[in-house]
Amino acid sequence: METPVHEPEVVNEPPVRDLELRQPGVPTTLNDLAARKGEGVEIIQARQTILETVRRAAIRMTSPEDWVLYKSPEEHGGQTIGYLQDCGADRVRDLYGIEIFSVSVPEKVNGDQPGVFHYLIRGSGRCKLTRQILEEIEGGRSSTDDFCKDKKGIELELAVRKAARANLDGNITRELAGLKSVPIEEIEEAWKGTPKKTDRCRKGRGFGTAGERLGGSSGKGPDVEPPKCGVCGAVAKFRDTSDGGFYGCPNYKTHADRKWSISAPKWIEQQKKAAAAASAADASAPATSSQPQQNSTTKKASAPQQQPLTSGDIFGSGRQPGEDG
């Protein structure tokens, strides 16, 4: 009996059709596309259209309450961008087919001060639409965050832990969907034809202090060059008070043991005198002393010093990227 000869099995891979290649998630290389000449360009354009459409649809699904707007300083262009909060990220997750997996056990990290703690949680994510994968992304929240006010004990513990997970889900979704920082014009464009308006979005850093965002005075301060901190050299911030205001250091927390501030009327007076002297001497040099009292690091019981700045005064109380919940 003859021994049967087994032919090696030949597997013919089914050819990938052009239409399938238009899908952003179907893997291909530049060489493959180049070999298709004109069709290759069409495939790239189709992929771009799909991604742009999904992005617009995703933004359209969100509400103004899902966004926090941030504004860069005027000297940097004054652009306004939107940051999609965790609740908004949850809305767009299904559209992108974003999955979150390999989620770690939440890890509690104690803070420097008693009663202050943070929760960290890690996880990975993938987008079924683009086949992008992110590994070991971190999410976390702190017991000092806004939403923890009036919570204590187990309730506080749970709230922080839940928020950390929500932050992880949000971070992965924002990253995979590319919605971490969206120009306001793009948001407005996507909301065209709907009652959604960016005016209803929360305003964060760059829109002034919390009081200003709620319609208070601008607090920009007098029309003179602000002094620099006598301790760290940072440009001081003007704070309005009933006795004319004062300048304080924005980094006061970093040198809490060496306080520095200057009364605004006094500073203005000095600036005026310096300008007059300079003018009289017809000197081309700038005012001789732009930093008076820089060494007055421990002024006694002056009115401004009795009102220490808070981080909310300096940075506003709006949440920063990654802090929403």
Helix or strand (DSSP H, E) at 140: strand 133-142
Structure tokens, 314: 């300096």
3-state class of 306 per DSSP? helix
Among 68, 89, 121, 229, binds another protein (CB under 8 A): 121
The reply to whether 164 sits near another protein by the rule CB under 8 A is yes
Assess 97 for contact with another protein (CB under 8 A): yes
Please tell me what DSSP assigns to residue 124: E
Q: Which two tokens stand for residue 253?
A: 């927390």
50 burial (CB, 10 Å; 0-12 / 13-18 / 19+) is middle
Which residue from 166, 182, 187, 236 is in contact with another protein, where contact means CB under 8 A?
166
CA max distance for the chain: 122
Q: Which of 40, 64, 88, 106 binds another protein (CB under 8 A)?
A: 106
User: Contacting another protein (CB under 8 A), which of 62, 80, 143, 165?
Assistant: 165
Closest CB to another protein among residues 94, 225: 94
Strands 98-101 and 202-203: unpaired
As given in the structure block, the two tokens for residue 38 are 């004109």
Closer residue to another protein in complex, CB, 103/314: 103
Q: Which residue has the tokens 């401004």?
A: 304
Name the residue nearer to another protein (CB basis): 90 or 240: 90
95 binds another protein (CB under 8 A): yes
| Residues making contact with another protein (CB under 8 A) | 19-20, 22-25, 46, 49-50, 52-54, 56-57, 60, 90, 93-106, 121, 123, 127-129, 154-155, 158-159, 161-166, 169, 190, 193
